């Protein structure tokens, strides 16, 4: 198989349960959503320049990187044809831990039975994204402690909706739960205030580390 890859790089994980740890990133082209705040919209355009990479080429890049955390991102990585085969090949590398950043609209069920099950960071697209109707909450039945549900917050309405989803699906204690502010739209202090008012235990407020270390729009970090 050949996969449409727009970036490969080594950096730190900017968010999630492995924030601050080194990771090797594979970013794929294309997405089925169009979020209002997307910071990688360039990777989703029809005319996006990409490199066709085989399983062997991707696995070799990961192996030679010397980094054991692997993050597959996009775009939407689960839309790549043959992605299951790629995951099996990556999972055969010794000591590798795979994380998939997925937008929450794609069924993850078939990926949870792989020989090496990846960790999933599932977005829940809140009203501010314009994409909430595409969310596939059936995925929550597959959640494990190493998985994450991420809420990207634009405003107070988004905060209230996130609280409703956490309660409705009983997410606390089942997986990592993260609130992340849309850069420049809401002050992080507002998120913390909401968490305090609602007594939201086992919820993390996170800032995207890479946007503080480097320029917010810098690629390859």
- pLDDT of the residue at 88: 96
**CA separation for the pair 143, 119 (Å, rounded):** 9
**Partners of residue 5 on adjacent β-strands:** 28, 51
What's the rounded Cα separation, in Å, for the pair 173 and 181? 22
Q: State whether the Cα torsion 113-114-120-125 is positive or negative.
A: negative
pLDDT 10s digit of each residue in the chain, 221 long? 999 999 999 999 988 899 899 999 999 999 999 999 998 898 988 889 999 999 999 999 999 999 999 999 999 999 999 999 999 999 999 999 999 999 999 999 999 999 999 999 999 999 999 999 999 999 999 999 999 999 999 999 999 999 999 999 999 999 999 999 998 899 999 999 999 999 999 999 998 777 667 666 667 65
pTM: 0.93
Looking at residue 47, what is its pLDDT?
Answer: 86
CA distances from 87 to 91, 114, 128 (A): 6, 8, 32
Residues, the chain, total? 221
**Residue 78 CB neighbour total at 10 angstroms:** 23
E strands within 29-82?
Answer: 51-54, 69-73
CB atoms under 10 Å from CB of 37, counted, come to 16
C-beta separation of 125 from 135 below 8 A:
yes
Signed CA dihedral, 148, 166, 115, 102: sign only = negative
**Dist. CA 13–CA 26, nearest whole Å:** 12
Determine contact, residues 171/204, Cβ cutoff 8 Å. Answer: no
Pairing type for strands 176-181 and 148-153 reads parallel
pLDDT of residue 215: 67
Quote the pLDDT of residue 46: 86
């Amino acid at each position: 198989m050949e996969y449409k890859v727009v970036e490969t790089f080594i950096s730190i994980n900017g968010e999630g349960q492995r924030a601050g740890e080194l990771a090797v990133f594979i970013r794929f082209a294309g997405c089925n959503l169009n979020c209002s705040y997307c910071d990688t919209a360039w990777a989703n355009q029809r005319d996006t320049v990409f490199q066709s990479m085989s399983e062997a080429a991707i696995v070799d890049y990961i192996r030679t990187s010397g980094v054991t955390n692997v993050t597959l991102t996009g775009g939407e990585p689960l839309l790549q044809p043959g992605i299951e085969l790629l995951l099996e090949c990556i999972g055969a590398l010794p000591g590798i831990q795979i994380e998939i950043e997925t937008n929450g609209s794609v069924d993850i069920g078939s990926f949870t039975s792989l020989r090496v099950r990846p960790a999933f960071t599932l977005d829940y697209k809140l009203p501010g994204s314009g994409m909430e109707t595409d969310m596939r909450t059936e995925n929550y039945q597959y959640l494990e402690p190493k998985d994450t549900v991420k809420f990207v917050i634009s405003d107070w309405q988004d905060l209230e909706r996130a609280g409703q989803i956490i309660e409705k699906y009983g997410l606390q204690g089942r997986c990592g739960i993260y609130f992340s502010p849309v850069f420049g739209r809401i002050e992080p202090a507002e998120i913390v205030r909401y968490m305090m008012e609602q007594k939201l235990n086992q919820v993390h407020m996170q800032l995207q580390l890479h946007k503080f270390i480097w320029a917010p729009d810098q690629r390859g970090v």
